[in-house]
Structure 1
Amino acid sequence: MKYRIVILALGTFIIGTDDLVIAGILLSIAHDLEVSISMAGQLVTVFAFAYALGAPVLGTLTAHLQQKKILTTSILLFSIANGLSVIVPSFGWLFITRILAALSAALFTPIAMTTASKLATQKSKGKALSVITAGLTVGIILGVPIGTWIGTTFGWRITFLFIAIIGIITAIGINWLLPVMEKEADIPLKKRLMSLNTHVMLTLVVGVMSTTGGFMLYTYIAPILQKTTNIEYTMISWFLVLFGIGSIFGNIAGGYGTDRYGAKKTLILSLLFFAMTLFSISLLMLFPVNWLIILLSVLICALCGFAAWALNPALNAHLISLNPKQASMILSFSASSLYLGIGLGALVGGLVINRISIIHIGWVGGVFVCIGLLLFLVIQQIFKNKING
């Protein structure tokens, strides 16, 4: 079972790398395709929103199909989209290939989560889900630096070639290692959408709020760290590595906590701790730079990664418990809410910087997470007699 889940995690690893590596090769793309940096940055935006829109729609339309075939086909299409990015003649065509890659990724990730959940025993579902989401985390800590190094050394097009090759390897592994999974019930589209009841939808909003708060920090972490530490720009990547390391341990802890203490308790504690770390970021920026502030910046950067990614296994396990028969579609909406939060985090964070000050990023992000926490507590009171999770 473990090696089957690992091959699924390889898919989420390369998808996470593909999504975030644009930041590392942005200047090369802008120069080569003769567009502004801000225009090149829209590649990140279009990927996030195409994913957010595509996940629930594609997940619904393909839910009746055999899951192994969906996984193989979607990761192959993802590889083809990245392969086409290697040979695009203009920025407009690259824009299109990024949309195709996002839609393929939006189909793969929730199905991978559902498959991992089915492959795992009842007591290890949280850990299995944490392995899948860990693929995204490892994409942050390893995939993005590797992809950036390839792009700066050999050209940005070779970065996409690297991603396409790993995608093909993943497709071969899935086709070889995974068993044929039982299809989900063939239910009409209208009835499937009706299954997303108020409980599920409100819980998805919790995910959107927490992700928005977190990506307000992550999107603008470079200028934030420069303000708190006065370090050289070239050193920012080491802080991102610390964030990634914290994310890995957070993912593991989130999976363990979900299996040991339950999804609800783990989610509440993760949200509370996450809000505290975000508030701490704004607090640090109020003090003059010294060795203690630098040390605390290092610690809080790792703790933010830990708290942010401890949320995911608990949230997804809780969502599955709300409607196990429609797990695939619900997880597609969960993935959609994640990417919606990414886009909103960058947008709201930019507004805070432009309209107020970068100093306020942390506490505004923390407020978003607190709103998510309060909403989740209210949801539990409303539905406490219906679901135990």
Structure 2
Amino acid sequence: MTATAAALFGNFVVGCGVLVVPGMLDLLALDLAISIPQAGSLLSLAALTMCLGAPVLAATTSRVDRRLLLVLSLLLLAVGHVACALASDFTTLLWLRPLAVLGAAVFTPQVAATLALMVPPEQRSTAVTSAFVGWSLASVMGMPIGNLLADLFSWRVSFAAVALMGCVSAWTVWRVIPAGLQVAPLSLQSWSEVLGSARLRWILLATLLWCMGNFAVMGYITSALREVLGASPGMQAILMTLLGVSGLVGNIILSRQVSRIGADRGARVALSYVLTGLVLWVLALSVVHALWAVAMAVLVWGLGNFAFTSSQQARLAQSAPGLASASIALNSSSLYAGQAMGAALGAYLVVALGFESLGPSGVIILGAALWCSVVADRISTPRPDQPAN
């Protein structure tokens, strides 16, 4: 197994850990006798934890051997999900969920920065986007399988499955990633250089808005399908699988084409697919009222979904390789901040206006994300040995 494959599998496990709750949100709420918006607070709290944890942990662990750091982050993910599986009530689960996702705040950004150290400059974009295919696989398998396990057995079994995979991934990383890899220690100057770059700021803002608009809908997708269209758990799993398969295909296409078309264009195209998919989602729920229309929407939506995130990481690594550890950590922080904001917005909209209001809000926010991405494209990229503009 190569380092890229180990990173891909690790991202798959981390993605399953993050996405398992949205995939079984309605079943978890039913079992714990709480409302959907209450259950949605699990999403917001977890995302807020990852948002704050990614840059803080990147700074405090910058002197730690990369292999050791990645292994410990996966073991923390495993321990946290075991604890969630054993939670006796919703309040306990609410306190434990941040622990379960803290490892995710470390692994995804730092494994991307680690790969950037291990491959030649001309291979960085391909390596980073290939590793992020793991998140696409998580959406293919993690969300629907988590939903089915929760439906057939219990949501506790879904958490336990993530914990088991975390242990396997930790062992794989220990076997494959070489010891002794170090990134440049992150100082205040590193963060200042990232935030002082106009190009990097616009890229990070695009990530935040993409995730906010995306998660306002995706965080409540199973509940919306059930409440609006009466979809059974089995049909929900099928549609989530379609979304994930589409995301996997889109990410694989991007990883093979990014060196030819460039990460900037890849991000723009991917985001256009997500925006189009959400427009189709709105039509499916509010006009057509049919599951076949939802299937068409998630097919288009998925093609750009994870491809956009991986292209964002590639843009950051290309723009300023020496700042990749800091910039990718901030990108993860932006992503998780967007999740928290999207989950909170979604919970409010469900109560105030109903599930049909989620899609239009997502479309507006995704349009703003696309505009930010285009602005970033127009700012020149410095040479690899220079700071970002």
Partner of 1:256: 256
Match status 1:202 vs 2:202: yes
Tell me the SS of whatever aligns to 2:132. helix
Does structure 1 retain, via aligned residues, the 8 Å contact 2:229–2:285?
no
Does structure 1 retain, via aligned residues, the 8 Å contact 2:280–2:296?
no
Unaligned runs of 5+ in 2: none
Kindly state the Cα deviation for residue 110 of structure 1 after the two structures are TM-superposed: 0.8
Match status 1:343 vs 2:340: yes
Partner of 2:191: 193
- Residues 371 and 36 (structure 1 numbering): CA distance in 2 closer, same or farther, change over 3 Å? closer
Does structure 2 retain, via aligned residues, the 8 Å contact 1:258–1:313?
no
Q: Tell which deviates more after alignment, 218-227 or 8-17.
A: 218-227
Match status 1:242 vs 2:245: no
Q: 2:331 aligns with which of 329, 334, 345?
A: 334
Kindly state the Cα deviation for residue 42 of structure 1 after the two structures are TM-superposed: 2.3
Aligned length: 383
Partner of 1:297: 294
Separation of aligned partners in 2, 1:360 and 1:25: 21
Does structure 2 retain, via aligned residues, the 8 Å contact 1:11–1:170?
yes
Kindly state the Cα deviation for residue 163 of structure 1 after the two structures are TM-superposed: 1.8
Separation of aligned partners in 1, 2:162 and 2:367: 36
Q: Which amino acid aligns with 1:272?
A: S
Tell me the SS of whatever aligns to 1:183. coil
Does structure 1 retain, via aligned residues, the 8 Å contact 2:64–2:182?
yes
Q: 1:319 aligns with which of 305, 316, 337?
A: 316
Separation of aligned partners in 2, 1:314 and 1:226: 33
TM-score where L is the length of structure 1: 0.87
Q: Deviations over 1:1-37 (max 9, x none)?
A: x632222222221222122222455566557666555
Q: Deviations over 1:71-91 (max 9, x none)?
A: 011111222222233444454
Separation of aligned partners in 2, 1:23 and 1:288: 25
Does structure 2 retain, via aligned residues, the 8 Å contact 1:320–1:331?
yes
Tell me the SS of whatever aligns to 1:367. helix
TM-score where L is the length of structure 2: 0.87
Kindly state the Cα deviation for residue 207 of structure 1 after the two structures are TM-superposed: 0.8
Separation of aligned partners in 1, 2:124 and 2:130: 10
Match status 1:369 vs 2:373: no
Separation of aligned partners in 2, 1:385 and 1:321: 8
- Residues 142 and 224 (structure 1 numbering): CA distance in 2 closer, same or farther, change over 3 Å? same
- CA-atom RMSD in angstroms: 2.9
Q: Which amino acid aligns with 1:195?
A: E
Match status 1:384 vs 2:384: no
Q: How do 1:51-130 residues align onto structure 2 when only pairs under 5 Å count? A: 51-130=50-129
Q: Deviations over 1:155-205 (max 9, x none)?
A: 4333333222211111111111211253122343x2222122242222100
Separation of aligned partners in 1, 2:228 and 2:36: 25
Kindly state the Cα deviation for residue 231 of structure 1 after the two structures are TM-superposed: 4.6
Partner of 1:10: 9
Match status 1:44 vs 2:40: no
Q: Which amino acid aligns with 2:193?
A: S
- Residues 213 and 87 (structure 1 numbering): CA distance in 2 closer, same or farther, change over 3 Å? closer
- Residues 369 and 5 (structure 1 numbering): CA distance in 2 closer, same or farther, change over 3 Å? same
Q: Deviations over 1:251-287 (max 9, x none)?
A: 1122233211111111222223322222233234453
- Residues 298 and 340 (structure 1 numbering): CA distance in 2 closer, same or farther, change over 3 Å? same
Kindly state the Cα deviation for residue 376 of structure 1 after the two structures are TM-superposed: 2.6
Separation of aligned partners in 2, 1:229 and 1:25: 17
Q: How do 1:249-288 residues align onto structure 2 when only pairs under 5 Å count? A: 249-288=249-288
Tell me the SS of whatever aligns to 2:179. coil
Kindly state the Cα deviation for residue 353 of structure 1 after the two structures are TM-superposed: 4.6
- Residues 266 and 75 (structure 1 numbering): CA distance in 2 closer, same or farther, change over 3 Å? same
Does structure 2 retain, via aligned residues, the 8 Å contact 1:55–1:106?
yes
Separation of aligned partners in 2, 1:369 and 1:167: 32
Separation of aligned partners in 1, 2:84 and 2:225: 32
Q: Tell which deviates more after alignment, 179-188 or 197-206.
A: 179-188
Tell me the SS of whatever aligns to 2:2. helix
Does structure 2 retain, via aligned residues, the 8 Å contact 1:228–1:284?
no
Does structure 2 retain, via aligned residues, the 8 Å contact 1:227–1:285?
no
Identity %: 24
Unaligned runs of 5+ in 1: none
Separation of aligned partners in 1, 2:298 and 2:31: 33
- Residues 160 and 362 (structure 1 numbering): CA distance in 2 closer, same or farther, change over 3 Å? closer
Does structure 2 retain, via aligned residues, the 8 Å contact 1:25–1:156?
yes
Separation of aligned partners in 2, 1:304 and 1:268: 14
Q: How do 1:126-145 residues align onto structure 2 when only pairs under 5 Å count? A: 126-145=125-144
